[in-house]
Structures are given as C-alpha cells and as structure tokens.
C-alpha cells in the first residue's frame, strides 16, 4: 500500500502542510489538492501559517487566519494537486528494514521477517510529499480499490481508461467527482525479473499494483 515511482517527474513538492484530518487515511497514491482552509482544523508550524507558504484573511474575515494545506480531494481544473507519496507498506525501502519501534512508524514482525518501510513524510514534519508533474506511477492498496461514490476502482478498470479521483477519499478510479487527472495503463503482475514468477510454476498471477500515467495538470 504505497505509491511506487516508476518513471516520475523530476522533483516533487514537499513544503506544504497536510491536513491532519486526512493524515490517517492516506496509504499512498491518493490524489491531494492544495486548498485554503479557513477553519484551521489542526496545529501547524510557523512556516505554513501566516508566512511565505501561508495566508491570512483569505475570504474568512479581516485578520482571521487561514491555512494553505493539501487535502484529499477530487481534481479541480486550475488547482495545484498531485499524488501523495506516503505509505505504510513497501514504502521507503531506501532506508532498509526498521526492526522494532522508533519515532514515526514501527514494523510488525510476522513469521520471522520484518515489514520493509520508511518514515512517512507527514510523521516527521506534518508536511506531505506530492508528485505533481506528469509521469508513470504505481498505485496499490486503498488508493486503487477503495471507492465510496465512484462506480469503478482501478482494480476493475480497462487499460487506457481515463482516471479521476473521489472528492472525500482521493482514491483513483472512474466515475468520480472531478476532472480527469490520468490514464490507467493497467495491472502489473510478477514485476520482478530476478525470481521465479507465479505463472512460471502454474499459479495465478498476483497483481502487485496498478500503473497510472499522471497527466500534466494544466489549467
């Protein structure tokens, strides 16, 4: 359950706050969009309040504070958004395997093995890493399958179909609430080239993730 970087754009965004109300729901690959929140639902660092990356009194009354942050959203034309690079499994493998507990997330040890993961961006800084440029990404877990209002998730979509996102969950699929943000390339099975695949030994293929091409999100 994580966003996989296949052929991404060069650099993501990483300096904006993530709405605390959405932090627990993000597993990686959901669509998030930059919004102006006049209710200030969470505490935030000084650099994302009334500073260079924040605003004050933006349509919420003179002098009333408002916060720029990323929230789970459907794609809105003309707004800044992208895929959230968070995750709880198969994430942060550059950091190796974390055994035991540490600041941020810890692993569970099942059957003598450790779950490979790294620290979520939001756990350390309250911010979220967002891939906003066009590129090829792999999406798994809830972001690909959890649908509450959309008619179809990535797991049942045809290759080449347009992808949008749900407003509340940010999950990718078809028939959601917003503007098209990408193209579904298809399910990826047995991606490893250095091991015996399931199909080679007569078993059914296992879908590892769904490949999505994120379009240039123009106005």
Name the band, by pLDDT with cuts 50, 70 and 90, for residue 35.
confident
> Is residue 50's pLDDT more than 70?
no
Q: What percent of the chain has pLDDT over 90?
A: 26
- Dihedral angle computed from the Cα positions of residues 149, 154, 157 and 160, in that order, rounded to the nearest 10 degrees: 120
pTM (2 d.p.): 0.78
Whole-angstrom distance, CA of residue 219 vs CA of residue 47? 27
> pLDDT tier at 48 (50, 70, 90 boundaries)?
low
Residues 91-107, mean pLDDT to the nearest whole number: 48
pLDDT at 180: 94
Task: Please give the pLDDT value at position 45.
Answer: 53
pLDDT of 116-134, one tens digit each?
A: 455 566 766 778 889 999 9
- Determine the Cα–Cα distance for residues 165 and 122; give it in Å rounded to an integer: 21
> pLDDT tens-digit profile of 132-167?
999 999 998 889 998 877 678 999 899 999 999 998
Which region among 69-83, 90-104, 205-219 has the lowest average model confidence (pLDDT)? Answer: 90-104
Mean pLDDT of 73-79: 90
User: How many Å apart are CA 158 and CA 91, to the nearest integer?
Assistant: 27
User: Coil, strand, or helix at residue 200?
Assistant: helix
Of all residues in the chain, what percent carry a pLDDT higher than 70? Answer: 66
Separation between Cα atoms, residue 169 and residue 156, nearest integer Å = 18
The torsion region of residue 111 among left (phi > 0), alpha (psi -120 to 50) and beta comes to: left
């Amino acid at each position: 359950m994580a966003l996989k970087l296949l052929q991404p754009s060069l650099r993501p965004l990483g300096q904006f706050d993530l709405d605390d109300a959405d932090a627990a729901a993000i597993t990686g690959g959901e669509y998030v969009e930059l919004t102006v929140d006049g209710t200030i639902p969470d505490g935030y660092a000084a650099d994302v309040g009334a500073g260079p990356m924040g605003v004050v009194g933006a349509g919420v009354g003179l002098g009333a504070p408002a916060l720029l942050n990323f929230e789970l959203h459907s794609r809105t034309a003309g707004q800044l958004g992208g895929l959230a690079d968070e995750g709880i499994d198969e994430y942060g493998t550059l950091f190796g395997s974390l055994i035991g507990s540490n600041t941020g997330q810890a692993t569970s040890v099942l059957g003598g093995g450790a779950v490979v993961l790294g620290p979520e961006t939001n756990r350390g800084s309250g911010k979220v890493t967002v891939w906003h440029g066009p590129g090829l990404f792999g999406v798994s877990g809830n972001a690909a399958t959890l649908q509450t209002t959309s008619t179809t998730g990535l797991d049942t979509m045809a290759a080449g179909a347009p992808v949008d996102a749900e407003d509340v969950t940010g999950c990718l699929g078809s028939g959601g609430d917003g503007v098209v943000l990408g193209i579904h390339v298809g399910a990826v099975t047995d991606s490893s080239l250095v091991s015996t695949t399931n199909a080679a030994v007569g078993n059914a293929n296992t879908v590892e993730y769904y490949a999505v091409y994120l379009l240039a999100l123009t106005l």
